[in-house]
Amino acid sequence: MNEDENPGPEAEPAMSEADALRVELADMRDRLLRALADVENTRRRAEREKQDASQYAVTRFARDMLQIADNFARALAACPPEVREAADPQVKAVLDGVEATERQLLAGLERHGVKPIDTADGKFDPNFHQAIAEVPGNGKPGGSIVDVVQSGYMIGDRLLRPAMVTVAKREAGNGADTKA
């Protein structure tokens, strides 16, 4: 019998040792890949949290500034255009200053990601609007926005403050519930 034909008893343990090393190598490779993936996921999560923190850090401050913007808007609304035209030049100058300050405040908020919610389409969306009353629609379909009482704002892709709106009452004849 030739030595090549019969490997002998010592060759068999060497094969199992090689197999064991291959299994261990595959296990180590798998653990390394998992550890690298975990580190990458942690890095991405930290980056996302950092972006969120910088984008939404001004949320509380922005809410406070919106109250000031509301007061500017109320001050300007208290003096209708016809009264303003007939007003003393000094009063006009004060109103122009209030108007300019309001514009500057809103522009500053917008630079920091605070933008007004668009209500031009007239469609009520409970995700962005808060209905404070149902009023006669005066030709508008039931459930649509009739008037914006207080503007709403977004910061980034999050709601900062909902727009407070009045909505048109639904017609009693269309089968919809008219209760608020």
- Cα-based distances in Å from 142 to 41, 76, 166: 48, 31, 11
Segments in 57-133 forming alpha helices (H): 59-77, 81-86, 89-111
- Answer whether 0.95 is exceeded by the pTM: no
> What would the mean pLDDT of 86-96 be, rounded to a whole number?
92
Nearest alpha-carbon partner for 162 in 125, 133, 135: 125
Contact between 136 and 167 under an 8 Å Cβ cutoff? The reply is no
> What pLDDT band is residue 178 in, cutting at 50, 70 and 90?
very low
Query: What pLDDT, on the 0 to 100 scale, is given for residue 52?
Result: 81
DSSP H or E stretch at residue 163? strand 163-168
138: left (phi over 0), alpha (psi -120 to 50) or beta: left
Token pair listed for 151: 């503007």
> What pLDDT band is residue 17 in, cutting at 50, 70 and 90?
confident
Residue 179 has pLDDT above 70, yes or no: no
Residue 168 has pLDDT above 60, yes or no: yes
Contact between 64 and 108 under an 8 Å Cβ cutoff? The reply is no
Query: What pLDDT, on the 0 to 100 scale, is given for residue 26?
Result: 94
Q: Alpha-carbon Rg of the chain, whole angstroms?
A: 34
Token pair listed for 91: 């009063």
- Cα-based distances in Å from 68 to 64, 76, 128, 139, 151: 7, 13, 21, 34, 13
In this predicted model, what pLDDT tens digit does every residue of 27-71 receive, in sequence order?
999 999 999 999 999 999 999 988 888 778 888 899 999 999 999
Query: What pLDDT, on the 0 to 100 scale, is given for residue 54?
Result: 78
Q: How far apart are CA 66 and CA 86, in angstroms?
A: 30
Query: What pLDDT, on the 0 to 100 scale, is given for residue 169?
Result: 87
Contact between 134 and 167 under an 8 Å Cβ cutoff? The reply is yes
> What would the mean pLDDT of 81-103 be, rounded to a whole number?
92
Query: What pLDDT, on the 0 to 100 scale, is given for residue 9?
Result: 52
Nearest alpha-carbon partner for 87 in 98, 102, 72: 98
